[in-house]
């Protein structure tokens, strides 16, 4: 039994380790000069390898593919990932938000552990060898690479998504899968900055807002994200903007910011009334600056169409209500998502309806498997995407080992 793994990233290396440990003849192909190239840049070079959370919490961070992931995460969860790396001598630590990192803070230690786990007496590693095509022929597969042709009994496509193409993930897996008869859910940017039409973005560049709520209406559905937001040139980014982007796809969402999410409308109104009463002879900018950073206060008053020098005692009820309304619903105008290549992950991929969630085997082509980001699965930040790659790789390798035994 000969198995080909196309892609030596997180999922491919994990599956290669399990299969070779089971004494199965495995070959890993990667177009790069080294294995796990994307892994090196994960978690800003520290690799947030998983999230120390329950299966339910993991699933709540899956944006697309939640139902599909149920079985895989039940059989290989974050505790399994943590034990896996600890047993390989890669010690881990848990940080804020249950994010798990190597104690060394070096993503390279995660790659090293995955490579160490591969039994090289059963696994050939072919670097600088891009797979160009895969065809299913008379019960096996012919793989054509940049160097040669090979025949295998089973093939695992672990080519990743389409983001950060310099790491080798260039969307090849979608073409290979499509040519084998699979439907591909169109790849979309996920975990990317959101470009706005609002010219004030430029003015606010570099401003971080903590504890705000980004409200989105995507295809008629409201979804809110609480936390930190950062203004970049022409865009919003930071944790809550990145999370929101994953749900947007090709829709045109309505966006607004709740600058005072801790106060409901009524409480905020009372607070503003009190501020007004105590500062009747001051300029309105004085009040607004007490509610938000100075750079935003100027923009806020402009958007409210109000002269910043206007005295509080001359503000009408209508104007006051507008201020309160904009504090709770500061309007942002969506332009587009940053391109898919700039995303932390790619949404879309091999249609999950055509893959068995217990084994990762294609329902269309026997002995063909998919693991990791090439599948139509993407998660929020926090170590969930790598966990999805490991869990799907585990399910796939386990099923292959089982099938070899039978
Ligand atoms: C900047 C950045 C930071 C990230 N940080 C985190 C983080 O901290 N935590 C987290 O959970 N997730 C993180 N992610 C996401 C995570 O890295 C991916 O979801 C994960 O690597 C997907 O694993 P994979 O094995 O499916 O694909 P990849 O790791 O992308 O590996 C795919 C491999 O396939 C190879 N390949 C592709 N096509 C071919 C071909 N035709 N022939 C041969 N080889 C081919 C590529 O060279 C590559 O090595 C981050 C992503 C980015 C871009």
Cα distances from 169 to residues 29, 154, 159, 343, 344, in angstroms, run: 13, 22, 6, 12, 12
Residues 207 and 304 in one domain: no
Shared domain check, 140 and 39: yes
Structural domain of 312 = 265-331
- Do the beta carbons of residue 52 and residue 94 sit within 8 Å? yes
Asked if residue 18 belongs to a domain, the reply is yes
Tell whether 336 is covered by a domain: no
154 and 219 part of one domain: no
Question: Could you tell me the two tokens for 87?
Answer: 């047993």
Q: What is the mean pLDDT of residues 365-384?
A: 98
Same domain for 43 and 67, yes or no, is yes
Number of Cβ within a 10 Å radius of residue 65: 21
Tally of domains in the chain:
3
pLDDT of residue 86: 98
pLDDT of 138: 84
Distances (CA, A) of 340 to 161, 186, 235, 378, 396: 9, 11, 15, 13, 27
Q: What is the pLDDT of residues 295-316, one digit of tens each?
A: 999 999 999 999 999 999 999 9
Q: Is residue 231 domain-shared with residue 269, that is, in the same domain?
A: no
16 lines ligand 1 (CB under 6 A): no
Any domain includes 40: yes
Q: Are residues 315 and 390 in the same domain?
A: no
- What mean pLDDT, rounded, does the chain reach? 97
Q: Which residue's CA lies nearest to atom 27 of ligand 1?
A: 160
Q: How far is CA 302 from CA 203, 230, 289, 298, 305, in A?
A: 12, 20, 13, 6, 5
Q: Let me know if residue 252 belongs to a domain.
A: yes
At 402, list the tokens: 């089982």
376 CB less than 6 Å from ligand 1? no
105 vs 46: CA distance, rounded Å: 5
3-state secondary structure of 315: coil
Calpha distance 193→332 (Å, rounded): 14
Task: Please compute the mean of the pLDDT values over residues 152-168 and round it to a whole number.
Answer: 97
Of residues 250, 135, 245, the one with CA closest to residue 195: 245
Mean pLDDT along residues 259-276:
96
User: Is the C-beta atom of 160 inside 6 A of ligand 1?
Assistant: yes
Q: Same domain, yes or no, for 176 and 208?
A: no
Secondary structure (3-state) at 338: coil
pLDDT digit string (tens) for 87-109? Answer: 999 999 999 999 999 999 999 99
Domain boundary among 201, 234, 259: 259
Atom of ligand 1 nearest to the CA of 161: 30
Determine, yes or no, domain membership for 341.
no
- In the predicted model, what is the mean pLDDT of residues 284-288? 96
User: Which protein residue has the closest C-alpha to ligand 1 atom 20?
Assistant: 386
C-alpha span between 97 and 94 (Å, rounded):
8
11 and 156, same domain (yes or no): yes
Give residues with Cβ within 8 angstroms of 213, minimum separation 6.
224, 225, 226, 240, 257, 258, 261
> Ligand 1 centre and the CA of 277: distance in Å?
57
Per-residue pLDDT tens over the stretch 200-237:
999 999 999 999 999 999 999 999 999 999 999 899 99
Q: Residue 302 has what pLDDT? A: 95
Given this model, what pLDDT does residue 406 score?
Answer: 80
Co-location of 304 and 274 in the same domain: yes
Return all residues near 195 (Cβ < 8 A) that are at least 6 apart.
234, 235, 334, 335, 336, 337, 338
| CB 12 near ligand 1, within 6 Å | yes
382 lines ligand 1 (CB under 6 A): no
Helix (H, G, I), strand (E, B) or coil at 172: helix
Residue 337 lies in a domain: no
Q: Is the CB of 368 under 6 A from ligand 1?
A: no
Q: What is the DSSP string of 109-144?
A: HHHHHHHHTS-TTTEEEETT--EEEEEEETTEEEEE
Same domain, residue pair 62 and 128? yes
Residue nearest to atom 13 of ligand 1 (CA): 42
């Amino acid at each position: 039994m000969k198995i080909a793994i196309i892609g030596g990233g997180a999922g491919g290396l994990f599956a290669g380790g399990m299969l070779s440990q089971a004494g199965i003849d495995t070959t890993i192909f990667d177009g790069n000069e080294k294995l796990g190239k994307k892994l090196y840049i994960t978690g800003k070079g520290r690799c947030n390898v998983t999230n120390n959370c329950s299966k339910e919490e993991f699933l709540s961070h899956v944006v697309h593919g939640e139902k599909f992931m149920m079985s895989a995460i039940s059989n290989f969860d974050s505790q399994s990932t943590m034990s896996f790396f600890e047993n390989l001598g890669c010690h881990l630590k848990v940080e804020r938000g249950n994010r798990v990192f190597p104690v060394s803070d070096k993503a390279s230690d995660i790659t090293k552990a995955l490579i160490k786990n591969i039994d090289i007496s059963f696994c050939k590693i072919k670097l600088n060898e891009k797979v160009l095509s895969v065809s299913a022929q008379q019960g096996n597969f012919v793989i054509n690479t940049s160097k040669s042709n090979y025949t295998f009994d089973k093939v695992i496509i672990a080519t990743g998504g389409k983001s950060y193409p310099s790491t080798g993930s260039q969307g090849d897996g979608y073409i290979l899968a499509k040519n084998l008869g699979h439907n591909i859910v169109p790849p979309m940017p996920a975990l990317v900055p959101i470009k706005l039409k609002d010219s004030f973005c430029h003015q606010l560049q570099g401003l971080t807002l903590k504890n705000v709520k980004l409200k989105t209406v995507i295809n008629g559905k409201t979804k809110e994200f609480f936390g930190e937001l950062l203004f970049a040139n022409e865009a919003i980014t930071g944790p809550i903007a990145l999370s929101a982007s994953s749900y947007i796809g090709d829709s045109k969402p309505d966006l607004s910011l709740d600058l005072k999410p801790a106060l409901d409308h009524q409480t905020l109104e009372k607070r503003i009334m009190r501020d007004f009463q105590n500062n009747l002879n001051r300029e309105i900018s004085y009040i607004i600056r007490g509610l938000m950073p100075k750079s935003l206060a100027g923009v806020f008053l402009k958007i409210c169409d109000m002269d910043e020098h206007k005295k509080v005692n001359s503000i009408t009820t209508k104007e006051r209500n507008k201020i309160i309304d904009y504090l709770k619903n500061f309007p942002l105008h969506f332009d587009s998502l940053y391109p898919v290549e700039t995303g932390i992950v790619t949404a879309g991929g091999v249609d999950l309806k055509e893959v068995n969630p217990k084994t990762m085997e294609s329902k269309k082509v026997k002995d063909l498997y998919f693991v990791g980001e090439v599948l139509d699965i993407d998660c929020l930040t926090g170590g969930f995407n790598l966990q999805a790659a490991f869990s799907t790789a585990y399910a796939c390798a386990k099923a292959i080992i089982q099938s070899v035994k039978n």
